[in-house]
Structure 1
């Protein structure tokens, strides 16, 4: 009888301790916010770029993010990240934020690439798709951007690159 009571107490103690731990996915999930996305971004190669302040964001994104929007961000707790796909041969290409997750000291942004269907009638115009999102400034040492197929689009060390 004593062993049964002791085992019950240990089991309840373990359950209580486990219940106080946040679920791993919930504790590490972050929710970046999309600031802008376009197919008419500044020409250039595919890249990922970190923005530390409003001036850098406005200068680095041309007219895509206006000064009012950039000034309205809480730059003490967040920064911005730009993802550019580079040159595309037609309309119909784009980027959107699909997911974000923190794994250890790495924040991973998952972006969805939109491509026009093979048989689509699209404008024959060169486009430069990009996506600008806000991210928490702290809580990780590496920011990894991947597409929804897992392909690496870029990696940054916030505040360093």
Structure 2
């Protein structure tokens, strides 16, 4: 009985140590954005579609990005920036992507995103969709930022972008 308790304690300790020491669990820095609405579901694909975008839009590149990205024609920026994530063209309904939170740690923005794809057991609309999310940040929130890291909610790194 003591052996089972000791093994359980060791497994629990090891799990907590791994979680606490995992550098990809980005709860560091100051929270500057958190969504109030959360999407439910999970990503059931091997990878993101080739047309997926994880982009930082700045006053310097906004005109170029308006020709490259969907749904940002009316976007304007003063001295701040915008974070844009998109799955590209999806063959059916049931896909979605969301910026869950953005943290500022030193000169880095850490963007946590969640994407979902349709459950293969459920019916979905047969229409092409273009899921995306966009968050604008003020100049005071992104002062001195020169790098943006995109992570999944599970802590997997998606992309690093220098700005």
Q: TM-score, normalised by structure 1?
A: 0.58
Matched with 1:156 is 161
Structure 1 residues 125 and 151, CA gap change in structure 2 (3 angstroms)? farther
Instruction: Select which of 124, 143, 148 maps to 2:148.
Output: 143
Question: Is 2:72 aligned against 1:65?
Answer: yes
Matched with 2:82 is 80
Matched with 1:113 is 115
Question: Is 2:100 aligned against 1:93?
Answer: no
Matched with 1:123 is 125
- Structure 2 residue matching 1:144: 3-state secondary structure: strand
Q: What is the alpha-carbon distance in structure 1 between the residues aligned to residue 82 and residue 63 of structure 2?
A: 12
Structure 1 residues 104 and 124, CA gap change in structure 2 (3 angstroms)? same
Larger radius of gyration: 1
Q: TM-score, normalised by structure 2?
A: 0.58
Q: Unaligned 5+ residue runs, structure 1? A: 1-24, 34-42
Structure 1 residues 150 and 89, CA gap change in structure 2 (3 angstroms)? farther
Higher relative helix content? 1
Instruction: Select which of 25, 43, 49 maps to 2:55.
Output: 49
Q: What's the Cα RMSD here? A: 3.1
**Deviation for aligned residue 1:32:** 7.2
Q: What is the alpha-carbon distance in structure 1 between the residues aligned to residue 50 and residue 133 of structure 2?
A: 14
The number of aligned residues is 120
Q: Unaligned 5+ residue runs, structure 2? A: 1-26, 36-48
